[in-house]
A and B are shown apart, each in its own frame.
Chain A
Amino acid sequence: KQEVTQIPAALSVPEGENLVLNCSFTDSAIYNLQWFRQDPGKGLTSLLLIQSSQREQTSGRLNASLDKSSGRSTLYIAASQPGDSATYLCADSMNRDDKIIFGKGTRLHILP
């Protein structure tokens, strides 16, 4: 049974710093992995999707990497801003027609 873990559960960093959020999964045979952002009381916004054959994806100040062999993914946020404060969720699926399994998320707070 696939389990997705995100550590730490919460993180506070000063504005302007670069930071890394971690995600690990127990079964490395994933099909793809997706990072989401959730603001309080809101839905989820898809940030980046990495297919199993890819090593990383980039969008603006965000970079997500995938290391299947070690069962890890990281989300790198460059030059953090207060608007980046949110909960970041990592999720994966084991094949094309499979459910998506979520970690519990990392609550990020960027200090102005």
Chain B
Amino acid sequence: NAGVMQNPRHLVRRRGQEARLRCSPMKGHSHVYWYRQLPEEGLKFMVYLQKENIIDESGMPKERFSAEFPKEGPSILRIQQVVRGDSAAYFCASSQTVPGGPTEAFFGQGTRLTVV
């Protein structure tokens, strides 16, 4: 089991471009979370997805940000028309919901987005 895979590890975009961040969950995991971490700050929840379904997007900015987790393929976090303030580390986690059991989350290594 390769763990949660995120790519790219580092992404540089000019202001106004689009950023696409990918996350492949652990094998057998059906739930994906996206978090943003700014320097010297904690992890801020963005969105929680199940395959083909958004469970909770209360942490997503209302504009320019979107996320999907299709039936096949990785989860994608898309940021349109990036601005300097979008520069951060974006982490993905996955979990497998076990009836009556714990929901343990496993994290990827993150994508560090730099907007220039």
Contacts and interface: CB of A to CB of B under 8 A. Distances in A.
Interface residues of A, number: 25
A108 B39 CA distance: 17
Given A43-B109, A105-B42, A97 B55 contact: yes
B104 to A, nearest CB: 5
A109 to B, nearest CB: 15
Interface residues of B, number: 26
Contacts of B105: 34, 46, 91, 100
A34 B93 CA distance: 13
B33 A99 contact: yes
Contact of B107 (A36, A41, A97, A104): A36
A100 B43 CA distance: 10
Contact of B43 (A32, A46, A89, A98): A89
B103 interface: yes
Interface string B19-54: 000000000000101010000011101001000000
